[in-house]
Structure 1
Amino acid sequence: MKVLVAGGTGFIGTNLCEELAKRGHEVTALSRSPGDAGLPDGVESALGNVSAYDSIADTVVGHDAVVNLVSLSPLYKPPEGTSHEEVHLEGTANLVRAAEAAGVDRFLQLSALGADPDGETAYIRAKGKAEAVVRESALEWTIVRPSVVFGDGGEFVEFTKTLTTPYVTGLPGGGKTRFQPIWVGDLVPMLADALEGSEARSASEASEQGSRADDAHVGEIYELGGPQIATLADVTELVYAAEGKDVTIVPIPMELAKLGLSAIDSLPFVPFGPDQGRSLEFDNTVADNDVTAFGRDPTALRTLGSYLGLEGTRHRAKPAETA
């Protein structure tokens, strides 16, 4: 397939582009600044901003599939001059419109757990509205909702360090918010599978369909998480244990934390705002882990502790099925 990966120069994007290229696909990474992307060998780059339709419409032409990974982080306030609605909703609508006009076969949307047009945060609401645009399109779509993703180049570990301090740190609600972190090295092959489909085709079917994928995952929404559920307090302990440091968690009442974030929201050097406080009031875990739809055993996926070099040590994160 000829695959256009919007947001292909980001953390997940570069990994997905490499995976797709290894599988023999012709891959182009669409980005606002592709020049310094450091893309894998064999991956082309294209300049475009999904928030501006005219900058992407011509690039979409000629592709069999489009992957939308463009996203603002839910962990930090959006950069000045941008918004979740502009990037997630308007950006998705532009990509869908361009894909429909170009006759693209497949569309893969990376969404978020809890995506809901009526959700509690601007990020969750925009992701929910974007999903509706994709579902209502004429495209053969698949939507994937992962929990937080970790790995080299990811922001989850650094976010934890930014939010906390070693030895003694305060956490809203005592850090009881639960996550189900999934390693980028586990997630990306499943994204590629979702795009390709997984049902075997006969030689005649393959010849008839040419470069098109099968429809094994068309019209499906998958929620994906890692093998363990960890609270923010667990993650904080893991991150500092990897540096040989202990940490004591001091609970901060959630209402007080949200009040403080609202009070400092206007300060440009503060990366967190009221939305980040609200996001800590609901868990980021899956009810049923859909990694099984891609033939993966949830217990065999990589843990955050293993990634941090703590395999075999004691920590509070629990297997997802028992947490």
Structure 2
Amino acid sequence: MNVLIAGGDGFVGRNVCAELVNRGHTVTSLSRSPDAEVLPDTVELVSGDITDYDSIDAAFEGKDAAVNLTALPPLHQPRPGTFHDTVCIGGVMNAVHAAQKHDVSRYIEMSSLGANPYSPIAYWRTQGLGDLVAQYSDLDWVILRPSFIFGKGSETFAFIKQYTTPYVTFLPDGGDQPSFQPIWVEDVAQIVADAIEQDRHVRQVYDLGGPEVLTFGEVTRMLYHAAGESVRIIPVPMQLVELALSAAEPLQTIPFGIDQARALEMTNTTDHNDIKAFGLDKSNLMRVETYLSTTSTNSNREQNHG
């Protein structure tokens, strides 16, 4: 199949592209500033902005399937001039329109667990509205809603490293909310490829989670432990965090706001995990601690051989 991946050189996209190439598909990556270094050599690169229809329209011509992976990260405030609405709603409208115009036979929308048009948090609210755009289209769509995706290049891992410190760190309510059901990016890439290839997934919405439920504090401890460092987490009342962020929010140099703090309170786990629809169960899936242990061991080996 000839497959277009919008956001193909991003964290999830580069893994999806590699999986599809390994399965023998012809793959094109669409992004604003294509990065060939993170993709297999056979992937064609196309420049375009999902929020600008005219810039992406031609990329859909001749494609059998299209995957939309574009979104703004939920744990950082959008940069000035960028908005969740224009990407997660407007971007989906553009992708769906182009796919319909060019008779793309399969359309995969990468949403997120918790997507809901009535959510008080902009990221999940606009994801929910974007999902409706795909669902009301005439396409053979599949909507995937994973929990926090982890792996090399994970936005959540980067966020933790940016906003916490080893030995002693502060987290809203101590990071004790059961916020995540982390799923490995390579497991997600396999699911995306199956959704493209298998007709039985058409017009289905899948909630996807990993093999365990972890709190934000637990993931923080795991990251530092894998790096050979300890960390003690000091709880900060959420009311105090929101008060401080309300005062700081007008300062656009601060990439963390009230919406992002509230996202850390949100329980992001599945009521029913749909990984079984893809022939998977918990025993098949990568666990965060196993992944971190493996990558830490490989990193130490590379340093020793260096």
TM superposition score normalised by structure 2: 0.93
- Report whether the alignment pairs 1:254 with 2:254: no
Partners of 2:245 and 2:289 lie apart in 1 by 30
Which residue of the other structure, out of 248, 269, 275, is the alignment partner of 2:259? 275
SS of structure 1 residue aligned to 2:265? coil
Residue aligning to 2:71: 71
Q: CA deviation at 1:75?
A: 1.1
Q: CA deviation at 1:236?
A: 1.1
Name the aligned partner's letter for residue 236 of structure 1: T
Name the aligned partner's letter for residue 266 of structure 2: F
Residue aligning to 2:274: 290
Residue aligning to 2:33: 33
Residue aligning to 1:126: 126
Aligned residues: 294
Partners of 1:224 and 1:180 lie apart in 2 by 9
Q: CA RMSD in A?
A: 1.4
Q: CA deviation at 1:250?
A: 1.3
Greater Cα offset, 276-285 or 104-113: 276-285
Residue aligning to 1:56: 56
Task: Decide whether the 8 Å contact of 2:113 with 2:146 is kept in 1.
Answer: yes
Residue aligning to 1:80: 80
Residue aligning to 1:140: 140
Name the aligned partner's letter for residue 119 of structure 2: G
Q: Could you say if the C-alpha distance between residues 245 and 38 of structure 1 is closer, same or farther in structure 2, counting changes exceeding 3 Å?
A: closer
Residue aligning to 1:21: 21
Residues 5-26 of structure 1: CA distance to partner in whole angstroms, max 9, x if unpaired? Answer: 0000101101101111111111
Residue aligning to 2:205: 221
Residue aligning to 2:283: 299
SS of structure 1 residue aligned to 2:224? helix
Name the aligned partner's letter for residue 262 of structure 2: R
Partners of 1:159 and 1:141 lie apart in 2 by 32
Residues 186-230 of structure 1: CA distance to partner in whole angstroms, max 9, x if unpaired? Answer: 111011101111xxxxxxxxxxxxxxxxx2100111111111111
Flag as ranges the 4+ runs of structure 1 deviating above 3 A: 35-38
Residues 146-185 of structure 1: CA distance to partner in whole angstroms, max 9, x if unpaired? Answer: 0111111222212112221111111112212221111111
Task: Decide whether the 8 Å contact of 2:50 with 2:91 is kept in 1.
Answer: yes
Residue aligning to 1:108: 108
Name the aligned partner's letter for residue 247 of structure 2: A
Name the aligned partner's letter for residue 26 of structure 2: E
Name the aligned partner's letter for residue 66 of structure 1: A
Residue aligning to 1:240: 224
Q: Could you say if the C-alpha distance between residues 240 and 65 of structure 1 is closer, same or farther in structure 2, counting changes exceeding 3 Å?
A: same
Q: CA deviation at 1:82?
A: 0.3
Unaligned regions of 5+ residues in structure 1, if any?
A: 198-214, 312-323
Unaligned regions of 5+ residues in structure 2, if any?
A: 296-306
Partners of 1:41 and 1:59 lie apart in 2 by 19
Name the aligned partner's letter for residue 306 of structure 1: T
Q: Could you say if the C-alpha distance between residues 310 and 41 of structure 1 is closer, same or farther in structure 2, counting changes exceeding 3 Å?
A: closer
Name the aligned partner's letter for residue 30 of structure 1: L
SS of structure 1 residue aligned to 2:131? helix
Task: Decide whether the 8 Å contact of 2:36 with 2:45 is kept in 1.
Answer: no
Residue aligning to 2:117: 117
Residue aligning to 1:180: 181
Partners of 2:218 and 2:227 lie apart in 1 by 15
